């Protein structure tokens, strides 16, 4: 079998990695936007005014339908990258990379489950849910998303940037952008509305880079 160095192997990450990352980024961005629109956050939305609006409920239902598929493509994205980094990965950083990705996925699913509770809570048809129930579900969903999931995303982004830098497979601008994304998610996601969208934006840029780099590298020759 033809041997390759760790950097070369990582550079030849299969097309599946880039495609999975693109799909994940688009699905996650769409889910975040729909949840933000369907379940508003802020002091002026303490009472669930308007949540009986069918458009809001459809937005939340659509977001909840997208989240599981976003998680699946994210796990696929992690798997194919780790498989093709192979022996070249730093075990410590790779463990942090994998662990943060798994915790992010689990916490994202938890946030989706909390958002779904706002929809299915028992209340008379055509009426708004009780304010206490609304507040609990809304705050739990946003806490899981912005306080925990996005901080795990920050760890994931920073570890991926470190791996890419050490192997020399990410350009300097993408490494720097990754670190800035991690700082944003770590310190601003819980205080600045919509800041969590920087994670799918970074994921999209990384995935496009993987696809472009793979195309430049050309098809892999057959190996014995």
Question: Could you list the pLDDT tens digit for every one of the 224 residues in the chain?
Answer: 344 444 444 444 557 778 899 999 999 999 999 988 887 765 445 445 546 567 878 888 899 999 999 999 999 989 877 776 665 667 788 889 999 999 999 999 999 998 887 777 645 555 555 666 677 778 888 999 999 999 999 999 999 999 888 887 788 999 999 999 999 999 998 888 899 999 999 999 998 988 887 666 554 443 33
Cα dist. 59→34, 39, 218 in Å? Answer: 5, 9, 41
Provide the pLDDT for residue 97: 92
Provide the pLDDT for residue 7: 45
Measured between alpha carbons, how far is 29 from 20 in angstroms, rounded to an integer? Answer: 14
- What are the start-end ranges of the H helices in the chain? 6-11, 15-38, 54-85, 91-120, 131-142, 150-167, 172-187, 198-217
Provide the pLDDT for residue 6: 46
Measured between alpha carbons, how far is 206 from 187 in angstroms, rounded to an integer? Answer: 22
Measured between alpha carbons, how far is 197 from 202 in angstroms, rounded to an integer? Answer: 9
A 10 A CB-CB count for 164 gives 21
Provide the pLDDT for residue 187: 93
pTM above 0.75, yes or no: yes
């Amino acid at each position: 079998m033809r041997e390759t160095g760790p950097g070369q192997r990582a550079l030849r990450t299969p097309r599946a990695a880039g495609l999975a990352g693109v799909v994940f980024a688009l699905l996650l961005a769409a889910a975040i936007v729909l949840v933000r629109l369907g379940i508003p956050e802020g002091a002026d939305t303490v009472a669930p005014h308007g949540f009986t609006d069918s458009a809001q409920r459809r937005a939340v239902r659509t977001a909840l339908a997208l989240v599981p598929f976003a998680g699946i493509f994210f796990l696929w994205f992690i798997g194919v990258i780790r498989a093709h980094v192979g022996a070249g990965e730093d075990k410590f950083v790779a463990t942090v990379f994998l662990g943060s990705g798994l915790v992010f996925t689990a916490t994202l699913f938890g946030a989706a489950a909390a958002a779904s509770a706002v929809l299915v809570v028992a209340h008379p048809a055509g009426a708004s849910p009780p304010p206490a129930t609304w507040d609990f579900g809304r705050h739990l969903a946003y806490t899981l998303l912005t306080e925990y999931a996005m901080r795990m995303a920050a760890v994931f982004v920073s570890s991926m940037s470190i791996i890419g830098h050490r192997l020399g497979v990410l350009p300097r601008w993408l490494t720097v952008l990754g670190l800035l994304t991690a700082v944003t998610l770590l310190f601003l996601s819980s205080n600045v509305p919509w800041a969590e969208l920087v994670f799918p934006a970074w994921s999209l840029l990384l995935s496009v880079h993987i696809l472009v780099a793979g195309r430049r590298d050309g098809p892999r020759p057959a190996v014995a």
